[in-house]
Amino acid sequence: MNAPVQTAEARELALAGMGASRLRKEDARFIQGKGNYVDDIKMPGMLHMDIVRSPIAHGRIVKINKEAALAMPGVHAVLTADDLKPLKLHWMPTLAGDVAAVLADGKVHFQMQEVAIVIADDRYIAADAVEAVEIEYEELPVVLDPYAALQPDAPVIREDLAGKTEGAHGKREHHNHIFTWDAGDKSAADAAFDKAEVTVSQHMYYPRVHPCPLETCGCVASFDPIKGDLTTFITSQAPHVVRTVVSMLSGIPESKVRIVSPDIGGGFGNKVGIYPGYVCAIVASIVLGRPVKWVEDRIENISSTAFARDYHMDGELAATADGKITGLRVNVVADHGAFDACADPTKFPAGMFHIVSGSYDIPAAHASVKGVYTNKAPGGVAYRCSFRVTEAVYLIERMVDVLAQKLGMDKAEIRAKNFVKKEQFPYTSAFGFEYDSGDYQTALDKVLEAVDYKGLRAEQALKRSDPNSPTLMGIGLVTFTEVVGAGPSKMCDILGVGMFDSCEIRIHPTGSAIARMGTITQGQGHQTTYAQIIATELGIPSEVIQVEEGDTSTAPYGLGTYGSRSTPVAGAAIALAARKIHAKARKIAAHMLEVNENDLDWEVDRFKVKGDDSKFKTMADVAWQAYHQPPDGLEPGLEAVHYYDPPNFTFPFGIYLCVVDIDRATGETKIRRFYALDDCGTRINPMIIDGQIHGGLTEGFAVAMGQQMPFDAQGNLLGNTLMDYFLPTFVETPHWETDHTVTPSPHHPLGAKGVAESPHVGSIPTFTSAVVDAFSHLGVTHLDMPHNAFRTWKALREHGAAL
């Protein structure tokens, strides 16, 4: 008997599928302290590892004395590069095609580089033994400025590359040069500048910052010498890639390597790469035959794991006298630290930086990025962005402001004049990206009306007319387009593996389901949103859909979670796997109802006979039939696997506006208002979207207003504790206003584009735009970040605006 008929609306509500602001199902365990993080993992006989790190930024290792450490009770081993050489594990490949020292081999290249490891009974004995390892260094000249690193007489940082004129990405021009990467058409861009009525240029520095997730990096490696199996619990955003790399490094068959990413306390790009600590813990477990745990402390995390940004950028715009942009030129010197360990697709050493034309219809453009070695920690991760998109968006948005200022045009007016128009989509940029969809003007109009933009400008003019006003008022406006959803295998791979993603769904006989994906959540709410996609596609309540990720022994192969690729890639795999199941379920329902498949309609959670609402079978009915008595010719069961290789990236966009008031006596900047409109295409869970936007905006606020990793002349990092490195709390964080438009992606199965990176990408130039706007009437065109009170007070003094 069928259950009493409910309305479609009531059944849709019960599903809590796409579009529902469903509470995050994973939060219950987190708020009760029931999460399972790497440091929660305990195994019988487990040992602990700590790392001896270099106190200097550049120097030769003269001698290492292990004796005092080895003599300490509870110490099992002290290993150096010489101990790893027989295993050929003293160097390892990086995701960028370079090699990096696992433990310093003959010399150190940056402060806090890994030199030796200690394995002991507990972490306290290991920490004491680290202090007992005696190392003698011969200091070498330090180079921290990438421009200085390219001078003919600059110190040689990578002696292991001596004589190598070819790098992973082309010819090396200097002993500290890594690559030069070009995009666009240089001759067309140069021609546009030759003909231009107006040109502007601006140098800007995007400082080195750090993602600084709440949970630091760590792992527990357990090698079974009897079975030859290796299991490693690890803080990784890409566990399957880690499995492949570990197999390549160790020689253990990949079928005997299991990588598990349990709950992760934030990633933001910091947990994509392979760190020496991971490799050393695995080696120690293989050598000793016992589980080995390594968890870094906060200073280690900020000092040695992957940084972000450190881009020295020169931008130029060519335009007509009335503000139509005709050309763009960009030159970048990128500080990659001592090893090129950026987590970028193989073909793009500068990531997706060529999104630098932004939301604008610029006919001719060229960008050049030069990677350089310095005596700093390696990295260059996409800190809550998609492969250097943040730097690109920052540059183009600053340049449009500079052009508007020179022409005396309003920020909103010049942007509207240069937008890619709605009717131009799909639009191919001068750099070759095919933007999928967009409606920038509608979004801009919505923001300007919501904040009373004309009223804000009038208020600002009134304040500027008062020489005794205690504050300067600034209005920042940014209209950004991001590129996410990496990516199409024809363009994107990591170590030769295409950047597809995957999903496996199994419907149980009683109508509940389990789904496994190749991604791994770090707080994005995957267990909730993925279940909502399946609920809508298959008519099963999201409450009874279990989502699992992060275990390479159960999940299908996927490229992980970073760069806002979860919904654009994994979300598509989920939808298409569900549709395979739906197609089989339709056949079973037709058999059960004794009609042809074409005689059925789908409504929310059931197949109905056309024209007769009383004759239907729910997905639960079909599931039971699939395992009980499927039609002849159909195998039992109801499950599917799908690997999704996207045909294109997706291009979410946003319009952000910020109002600041700068105290002329102290330089303190107060964020009066921040209005963020995002368009991520189809919205799966509006509440989770808002949460992701709030988090991204808060991180953007931190970067723009305070975060930096400064070094002294000797290469000592001056900001590697939370006493020095700015992480905003509830007290400092502004109030966020969010809004949206919906422009679905035409090539994505759900029309979804992704959103988690956008608020970080868009907010940072918005804050800078607002701060600089407060000074614009004084002739200031740009101020480098961070805009902390001291730096802003200095700018007030320099331009005669301080009280």
- Which are the catalytic amino acids? 237, 384-385, 757
Measured distance CA(334)–CA(705) in Å, rounded: 22
* Nearest-angstrom CA–CA distance, 468 and 458: 18
599 three-state secondary structure: helix
Helix 453-464 and helix 440-451: axis angle, to 10°? 60
- Rg of the chain over Cα atoms, rounded to whole angstroms, equals 28
Residue 700 DSSP one-character state: H
Quote the CA–CA distance of 283 and 525 in Å, as a whole number: 34
Query: For residues 317 and 589, what is the distance between their CA atoms, to the nearest angstrom?
Result: 61
Instruction: Look up residue 603 and give its two tokens.
Output: 């409504």
Structure tokens at 800: 């005669």
Measured CA to CA, the distance from residue 688 to residue 694 in angstroms comes to 10
Measured distance CA(329)–CA(206) in Å, rounded: 17
Q: Treating both helix axes as pointing N-terminal to C-terminal, what angle do 440-451 and 411-418 enclose, rounded to 10 degrees?
A: 160
Q: Is 673 strand, coil or helix?
A: strand
**How far is the C-alpha of 682 from the C-alpha of 575, rounded, in Å?**
13
In the block, residue with structure tokens 């979410």:
652
**CB-CB contact of 337 with 377 (8 Å):** yes
Beta-carbon count within 10 A of 801 CB:
17
SS (H, E, C) 562-594: CCCCHHHHHHHHHHHHHHHHHHHHHHHHHHHHC
Neighbour count for residue 51 (Cβ, 10 Å): 22
φ, ψ of residue 317 to 5 degrees: the values are -125, 140
